[in-house]
Amino acid sequence: DELVSQIAAGEVVERPASVVRELVDNALDAGATQVTVRLLAGGVRLISVEDDGVGIPHDELGVALKRHATSKIASLSDLESVGTMGFRGEALAAISSIAELNLLSRTAGQASAFMLDGRTGELRPAARATGTTVEVKELFFATPARRKFLKTDATELAHCIEAVRRHALARPDVGFAIWHEGKLVDQWRAATREQRLADVLGPEMVDESVAVDYHAGPIRVTGRAGIPDASRSRSDHQFSYVNGRYVRDKVLTHAARSAYEDVLHGNRQPVYALYVEIDPARVDVNVHPTKIEVRFRDSREVHQAVRHAVENALAAPRA
Ligand code: ADP
Ligand code: MG
């Protein structure tokens, strides 16, 4: 019901960037090759995420807004091996309880697109190519107390951009664009991972870094480890991914930091993008509503793999 949805919304949606993250997750789950994010007022007035994915059949548009409506897992045991970004069926329901949400979508088989007005429930034919546009307007309009906690538009915009950057680093094969107030803020075309790292984080992220590529049992660690230059080193250039999902995790951060301390003996901020691939049965992604935290079944094994991966990369002779 409404109250439960609003409580869930509090856990999922903290600020506009949380909405951006959930909507881009959905676009990627739908197989999008191009994702366009449009924002007004740092996302508070409008967040629109447009994709060219498979779309939502018109008779399922209403269902997609219901709590625990997910097309992605059929049983509890599927949770063991979640391959998609979403799986809880919470995001759209939660967002639509705290904002005006409209869905515009077309599947390949449909003669036209359909638009669902989330407020009135009205469904009417509309125009667009195959794919989905989700529009979220006036975030927290019904909860002024929450809205009051938002920062300036510039700060909220920066968080939204960061959310898209995290996705962009995970999926170099997908093109991304971000617009704010009708102006193009950033645009990344589909590329190789190295090119995407350079496009998003700057050329030094590739020029002044070493490749990480390490395999141990059920774990593979790839990516780039930067050679920190005291003048350039930035803590916001630490990205870690587990099975394609951006995570903030103490085990990974600590492992990477230890490797930098061992090899470079400096105390400067390490700079890296690390991609951990692990048997999905060895990691639980269902520990936090925003899925930004994970729990490893054997965190020592992961710590060792990441530490060795980064140590080997940093210690290898460079050309
Ligand atoms: P979840 O992603 O956890 O399944 P959501 O609330 O985020 O839950 O989305 C609910 C459902 O709506 C999804 O399972 C999917 O079927 C559908 N959906 C949402 N966004 C899109 C999209 N951009 N393209 C296709 N289907 C979508
Ligand atoms: Mg989702």
Confidence bin at 147 (pLDDT 50/70/90): confident
Distance in Å, CA 217 to ligand 1 centroid? 34
Instruction: Tell which phi-psi region holds residue 178, choosing left (phi > 0), alpha (psi between -120 and 50) or beta.
Output: beta
The CA-based angle 157-61-87, given to 5 degrees, is 65
The CA-based angle 236-82-214, given to 5 degrees, is 55
Q: What is the position in ligand 1's atom list of the atom closest to the CA of 55? A: 25
Distance in Å, CA 85 to ligand 2 centroid? 7
Give 131's Cβ-side CA count (13 Å radius): 19
Q: Which of 29, 105, 115 to mutate to test the pocket of ligand 1 (most atoms within 8 A of CB)?
A: 29
For residues 285 and 298, what is the distance between their CA atoms, to the nearest angstrom?
14
Residues 6 or more apart whose Cβ sits within 8 Å of residue 219: 276, 277, 278, 301, 302, 305
Ligand 1, residues at Cβ distance < 6 Å: 22, 26-27, 30, 51, 53-56, 64, 69-72, 86-93, 132
- Residue found by looking up tokens 């049992």 in the block: 217
Q: What is the DSSP letter of 103?
A: E
Q: Which of 33, 54, 71, 110 to mutate to test the pocket of ligand 1 (most atoms within 8 A of CB)?
A: 71
In 3-state terms, what secondary structure has residue 319? coil
Which pair of tokens denotes residue 175? 């093109």
Closest residue (by CA) to atom 26 of ligand 1? Answer: 56
Ligand positioned closest to the Cα atom of 69 = 1
Question: Which residues keep their CB under 5 angstroms from ion ligand 2?
Answer: 25-26, 86, 91
Tens-place pLDDT, residues 12-27: 788 999 999 999 999 9
The CA-based angle 158-96-161, given to 5 degrees, is 15
Confidence bin at 102 (pLDDT 50/70/90): very high
Give 28's Cβ-side CA count (13 Å radius): 26
pTM as predicted: 0.91
Q: Which of 26, 33, 136, 285 to mutate to test the pocket of ligand 1 (most atoms within 8 A of CB)?
A: 26
Tens-place pLDDT, residues 284-313: 887 776 678 889 999 999 999 999 999 999
Distance in Å, CA 25 to ligand 1 centroid? 9
Tens-place pLDDT, residues 149-164: 889 999 999 999 999 9
Closest residue (by CA) to atom 8 of ligand 1? Answer: 89
Closest residue (by CA) to atom 17 of ligand 1? Answer: 64
Query: What is the Cα gyration radius of the chain?
Result: 20
Predicted local confidence at residue 20, as pLDDT: 97
For residues 150 and 142, what is the distance between their CA atoms, to the nearest angstrom?
14
Distance in Å, CA 26 to ligand 2 centroid? 5
**What value of ipTM does the predicted structure carry?**
0.98
Give 29's Cβ-side CA count (13 Å radius): 20
Tens-place pLDDT, residues 45-92: 999 999 999 999 999 998 888 876 666 655 555 555 556 665 567 889
For residues 59 and 77, what is the distance between their CA atoms, to the nearest angstrom?
27
- Residue found by looking up tokens 């210690």 in the block: 315
Residues 6 or more apart whose Cβ sits within 8 Å of residue 285: 82, 242, 243, 245, 291, 294
Ligand positioned closest to the Cα atom of 54 = 1
Tens-place pLDDT, residues 4-15: 666 666 667 889
Distance in Å, CA 68 to ligand 2 centroid? 10
What domains are there in the chain, each with its CATH number? Answer: 2-188 (3.30.565.10), 193-315 (3.30.230.10)
- Residue found by looking up tokens 């700060």 in the block: 155
**Cβ atoms < 10 Å from Cβ of 1:** 7
In 3-state terms, what secondary structure has residue 147? helix
Ligand positioned closest to the Cα atom of 286 = 1
Instruction: Tell which phi-psi region holds residue 233, choosing left (phi > 0), alpha (psi between -120 and 50) or beta.
Output: beta
- Residue found by looking up tokens 């439960």 in the block: 4
